[in-house]
Amino acid sequence: MSRPTLTELACTVLTTADGREKTHISREAAKTWFASVEAGNPLEIGNSQPPNDPSRPNRPELLPPNEVPRRRTGTEKGRIALLHAIAHIELNAVDLHWDIIPRFAHIKMPHGYFDDWVKAADEESKHFNLLCDRLEAMGSFYGDMPAHAGMWRAAKDTAEDFMGRLAIVPMVLEARGLDVTPGMIDLFKRVKDTKTTEALEIIYAEEVGHVAYGSKWFHFLCGRHDKDPKERFHTLVQTYFSGGLKPPFNDEKRAEAGLPLDFYWPMVREKS
């Protein structure tokens, strides 16, 4: 029986629309990859082309960021809306981590690079399901309310810039998750929602790894091309993230993930 390539597996995830189905296929793909690695015979990477936009379910309705209703997290309804927004981010993250594999498959990378993104995609799939379970336990579901339309923008902007993709997705966007998640954990602790607190704690712990993978492979490529990592990061953030970065930052977790202070603090745009 012929074996799939890793880029074929990635494209199957990207072209599946339903969230639960996408994450199921994603987790199976991760199992297939790691079983092949453990057997000492990893799947070929291949060269399947990813779609420009991943398939998504008909719902949620996607709205421009300024039209997504504001959340008041003091009410149960507001907390459901917050979990819905995070579930939407997690589903995008599943696609982002699978997309980087075929998108830049023409660039030779060590095996550990593929292991890292497959593991990250598998974890995002788990995160999406944990949040869907919480939404369903609270009488809602993913798709029940509108979500942010701009999430795939970073992927499109960096579709031809490998270092730009690593700088923006894990090292800016996922690092932002490290800044805001402790506040969310506190919010659910205060209302004694233990199950949601536990889900968010799992997510928080695993996201440190994703930022670290970004930093690791960004530094690897800087070494390959004889570039100064800090200068390169600053240039890429200015190119793709012109609004600048917003404090407060979680300096401790960012350090744990291999993001030094002088990478992001100089990128804070002074309010004029």
CA distances 153 to 54, 100, 207, Å, are 12, 14, 21
Helix orientation angle between 175-190 and 76-103, rounded to the nearest 10 degrees: 160
> Nearer to Fe ion by C-beta: 79 or 210?
210
Q: Which amino acid is at 184?
A: M
In the three-class reduction of DSSP (H, G, I as helix; E, B as strand; rest coil), residue 272 is classed as coil
Q: Is 95 in the site for Fe ion (CB under 5 A)?
A: no
- Region of 190 (left: φ > 0; alpha: ψ -120 to 50; beta: rest) is alpha
List Cβ neighbours of 93 (8 Å cut-off, separation of 6 or more): 120, 121, 124, 127, 174, 210
Task: Give me the helices (H) in the chain, please.
Answer: 6-14, 19-38, 76-103, 111-137, 153-157, 162-168, 175-190, 194-224, 229-240, 251-256, 261-264
Q: Which of residues 65-94 bind Fe ion (CB under 5 A)?
A: 90, 93
CB of 99 to Fe ion, least distance (A): 13
Pick 48 or 97: Cβ nearer Fe ion: 97
Question: Counting contacts by CB under 5 A, is residue 119 touching Fe ion?
Answer: no
Supply the minimum distance, in Å, between the C-beta of residue 207 and Fe ion.
Answer: 5
Other Cβ atoms within 10 Å of 82 Cβ, number: 17
Least distance CB 226 / Fe ion (angstroms): 29
- Based on CB atoms, which residue is closest to Fe ion, 4 or 187? 187
CA 14 to chain centre: 14
The Cα–Cα gap between 62 and 149 comes to 5
Per CB under 5 A, the list member of 95, 99, 116, 124 interacting with Fe ion is 124
193 part of the interface to Fe ion, by CB under 5 A: no
Q: Minimum distance between the CB of residue 26 and Fe ion, rounded to whole angstroms?
A: 12
- Residues between 13 and 32 with contacts to Fe ion, criterion CB under 5 A: none
CB of 40 to Fe ion, least distance (A): 29
- Segment interacting with Fe ion (CB under 5 A) among 3-11, 15-23, 69-77, 119-127: 119-127
Interacting residue with Fe ion among 22, 56, 119, 210 (CB under 5 A): 210
Does 127 interact with Fe ion (rule: CB under 5 A)? yes
Binding window for Fe ion (CB under 5 A); candidates: 109-117, 201-209, 231-239, 264-272: 201-209
Q: What is the DSSP letter of 147?
A: E
Q: Which of 26/48 has CB closer to Fe ion?
A: 26
Closest distance to Fe ion from the beta carbon of 215 (Å): 13
Report how far residue 253's alpha carbon sits from residue 179's, in angstroms, rounded to the nearest whole number: 8
Q: How far is the CB of 169 from Fe ion (least distance, A)?
A: 9
Restricting to residues 169-188, which ones interact with Fe ion according to CB under 5 A?
Answer: 174
Distances in Å between the Cα of 198 and the Cα atoms of 75, 127, 189, 192, 202 are: 20, 11, 9, 11, 6
Q: Of 4 and 154, which has the nearer Cβ to Fe ion? A: 154
- Binding residues for Fe ion, rule: CB under 5 A, are 90, 93, 124, 127, 174, 207, 210
